[in-house]
Structures are given as structure tokens and as C-alpha cells.
Amino acid sequence: MARNVIIDCDTGLDDAVALLLALRSSELNVLGITCVNGNVGLDKVVYNTLRVVEQSGKQVPVYAGATSALMVDADENASKVHGSDGLGGIPLPAPKHSVENEHAIDFIVRTFMEAKEPMDWITIGPLTNAALALRKEPRIEEKIRLLTMMAGGLDSGNTRPMAEFNVFADPDAARIVFDSAMPKMMVPLDPLFLGGYLKWSDQQKIKAASDKLWCNLAGKIFDVTHELVHKMGRKQVTEEGAVSPPDLLAVAAAIDPSIMEIENYQIHVETRGEFTRGMTVVDRRKYQRGEAYPGRKEVAVVIDADQQKYASLVLNTWLA
């Protein structure tokens, strides 16, 4: 039976393919998609999300949420990675549906509180909406089976040397979420450089099924991703021609964590460091002279992915 889930996103290129995977998956029943300022401004995020949902062949309500970080310290978007419109200039039809009138925070709180059994929650953008929902109604923690986050890094960053974008964009919100007691799984940047990617041959199979709207869009996104990475001069860290959208891996982890290598750690978020703002602090030293923080729940951290099983999950979902 499909698990009920809310997805929170800041729809850029990787969010788009992640949404297409979630919406086409028989394992997830997406009750709503909430939007947050992030890769681009909230208005563009909402517009992109509405268009992507329609390309999925599904009908799911979309809600607008936070327009900025909790404390606007260094407002920064990721348009250099996703294009000024957030979707790399890919032409898509204007959406036929409109954003819902209810605010994203109200929708999140209401849906979790009305749930008869614990639900899933997936966040693939900055954690502002999640933090605001937790502050508005702390009892939603009891209603969450698992929160899966594309957030942070163990050994690297992408916005700063020590910080991943989703956490850097709103570290205060990230701290609130990471400090919460709900069960959490973090999908950081690190597994993308190991098995968390799609090979060139995987992409060709998806593009060959372009008669399906979602495959057609995914193929275009992968093409644009290659172009943007080339223009930015970023070094290929996986095999040649591969793509590794972070948010796509996070949704795959939420669908089937068994294809991931997972380790449990206590995680803290640095909010004010001069060089480490937005860093997810994970102590993986073998010997510790100080005691761990008592009572603090560990986070399940995705360390690696089985590339073949990951690709099969994506292909089977989209090509079925």
C-alpha cells in the first residue's frame, strides 16, 4: 500500500526530476507539494512546481510557503546552477491549475494532525517551511513516520566549502529540524560521488521513452544539466556522461532505503561560524574523549547507493 507523503521543494532542475519520480512511484501517495524560497524566488518555484506536476500526468495540490529564510543573513539563490527561471530555460506549457489558497505551513500542520497514522515527509529544499511548521505545532513530530531530507554534507559542500545549499540557505531552520526528535534520514552530497548517479546509458533509456511526458521532461533536464555543468567548468566526479541530481537520490532513498548504505550519527548544524555557516557537523572519529549529547536522537545518514539498484528504481518507475 502506498505511503502518504508531503513533499517540500524549491523547484529547480533536480527538484523537478525528484518530483517526477515521487509522483510516478506506486510506493508514494503525494497528498500535496509545498514550495519554499530557495533555488529561485518563491513565485518562480511555485510556477515551476505547477508545470512539473502537470508533466507528471498526475493532479496534486501545490501550496506556497516561506518567501525567505528565518533570519535573512546572506540571501543567496542557485540560479547559476538552475538558470534564471530555475528550469534551465526549458520551454514548458503554462500550468492549467493554480496554487492553492491555503498557506503551505497551514497545510502541513493540518494534514499531519488529521492523519490517522504516521506519514512520510520529504524535504528537497531549504528547511524553512519545515521549521515553521514545527514551531507552529510541535505535536506534528508524533505524526511523522520518517522525514527524509536532501541536506548537508559529510566531507564537502557545494555553496561553500563546508556547506550544502539547502542548509546554507537557512541554517537556523535546519538547526530546528535537525534538533527535533522525529525520525530523520539525511541524504547528503557525499553519495552522489559514489553510487548515487545515473549513467549515460540510463539516461538514453529514459530519453527513448519521450512519448511519456515525464520521461520527455527528465531527458531535457539531464541535457540541460550537462550543459550547465560544462559552462560552470565543474569537474566530472563520476563516470563520464553521468548525472547525479541530489534531490532525485533523496526521493529514491525515501521510496526504498534498502538500496542505500546508511550509518547513524548525531548531527549538529552550525549557524554562525565565519567559515562554517550552514555546515552539518558530524563527528565520525573512532575514538571520542567526550561523551555524546545524551538523549539526542541519531540521524540515519545515506553514505552510498547501489548504482544499479538506484538506476533500476528510477527506470522501472518512469518506464512502467
**Model-level pTM?**
0.94
Q: Active site residue: 8, 10, 14, 15, which one? A: 10
What does the pLDDT profile of the chain (320 residues) look like in tens digits?
899 999 999 999 999 999 999 999 999 999 999 999 988 999 999 999 999 999 999 999 999 999 999 987 656 666 666 667 779 889 899 999 999 999 999 999 999 999 999 999 999 999 999 999 999 999 999 999 999 999 999 988 888 888 899 999 999 999 999 999 999 999 999 999 999 999 999 999 999 999 999 999 999 999 998 887 767 656 656 678 899 999 999 999 999 999 999 999 999 999 988 889 999 998 777 666 566 677 788 999 999 999 999 999 999 999 98
Q: What is the DSSP string of 228-268?
A: HHHHHTPPP-SSTT-B--HHHHHHHHHH-GGGEEEEEE-EE
Burial class for 116, CB neighbours closer than 10 Å (0-12, 13-18, 19+): exposed
Helix orientation angle between 213-232 and 307-319, rounded to the nearest 10 degrees: 140
Q: Which amino acid is at 58?
A: K
The per-residue pLDDT for 24 is: 98
The per-residue pLDDT for 79 is: 64
Please say if 8 is a catalytic residue. Answer: no
The per-residue pLDDT for 88 is: 84
The per-residue pLDDT for 232 is: 62
Question: The C-alpha cell of 6 is what?
Answer: 508531503
Question: Which residues contact residue 107 at a Cβ distance below 8 angstroms, ignoring those fewer than 6 apart?
Answer: 6, 32, 34, 61, 63, 100
The per-residue pLDDT for 73 is: 67
Domain residue spans in the chain? 3-319
CATH 3.90.245.10 fits 3-319, yes or no: yes
Question: The C-alpha cell of 142 is what?
Answer: 508524533
